Chains A and B, each alone.
Chain A
Amino acid sequence: GAGVSQTPSNKVTEKGKYVELRCDPISGHTALYWYRQSLGQGPEFLIYFQGTGAADDSGLPNDRFFAVRPEGSVSTLKIQRTERGDSAVYLCASSLGGTVQETQYFGPGTRLLVL
């Protein structure tokens, strides 16, 4: 079956612009996660959805970052007034039920470059 898909695969934008990154989780997975991976680093947790609600958004770095999952499936990560430091790979993962014992399946990521 299809895995987690993310679009776009690459995004180049200018400092100060607004960007949206999309994640399509595996069908039937109720849990969805966003991570950010900077060059040479491991993924850093941003936010976790259980269904439509954000169960844990403690990793969002500031109020320029926002994520939604209105119908409990597709999620969009929104970044306002982008800064050069936002350049990274943004990874999305989904799991069946959301308990830590369940496998998180990762998408290939969106590579964001802020000029």
Chain B
Amino acid sequence: QKEVEQDPGPLSVPEGAIVSLNCTYSNSAFQYFMWYRQYSRKGPELLMYTYSSGNKEDGRFTAQVDKSSKYISLFIRDSQPSDSATYLCAMSAGNTDKLIFGTGTRLQVFP
């Protein structure tokens, strides 16, 4: 079993929809949680960073962490075609700098 599980998709939604992306994990030591966006043939770029449990909002993006369930989510409101990309969750225990990534979910937002 992988430490971080993520549905690879693809997920196809119409423009304006609310998108929910999720990851589950098995290592209870994880404390730092990130979401990265990766466009085709580009490197990942950091979208959201959360420490421990709770919610964090940045514009159209909301990240949620539920450590009791070992479950994290990224919500995208009013999705745009430019949001079409692969979304990767990543986690770290914090005592090292090693990030453990999920497989990524491919999102397609159609006009």
Residues of A within 8 A of B (CB): 4, 31, 33, 40-45, 48, 55-56, 58-59, 91, 93, 98-101, 103-109
Contact = CB atoms under 8 A, between A and B. Distances in A.
Contact of A4 (B41, B43, B90, B97): B43
B68 interface: no
A33 to B, nearest CB: 8
**Shortest 3 CB-CB contacts between residues of A and residues of B:** A106-B43, A42-B101, A100-B92
Interface stretch (B11-19, B44-52, B74-82): B44-52
26 contacts: A40-B8, A40-B104, A42-B90, A42-B101, A42-B104, A43-B44, A48-B98, A56-B96, A56-B97, A56-B98, A58-B98, A59-B98, A91-B44, A98-B97, A100-B92, A100-B94, A100-B96, A101-B49, A103-B46, A103-B49, A104-B46, A104-B99, A105-B45, A106-B45, A107-B43, A108-B41
A106 B103 contact: no
A45 B94 CA distance: 15
Interface in B4-61: 4, 6, 8, 32, 41-46, 49, 51
Nearest to A6: B43
Contacts of B90: 42
Contact of B42 (A31, A33, A108): A108
B30 to A, nearest CB: 11
Contacts of B99: 43, 45, 100, 104
A61 B97 CA distance: 18
Contacts of A101: 32, 49, 51
B46 A45 contact: no
A34 B80 CA distance: 32
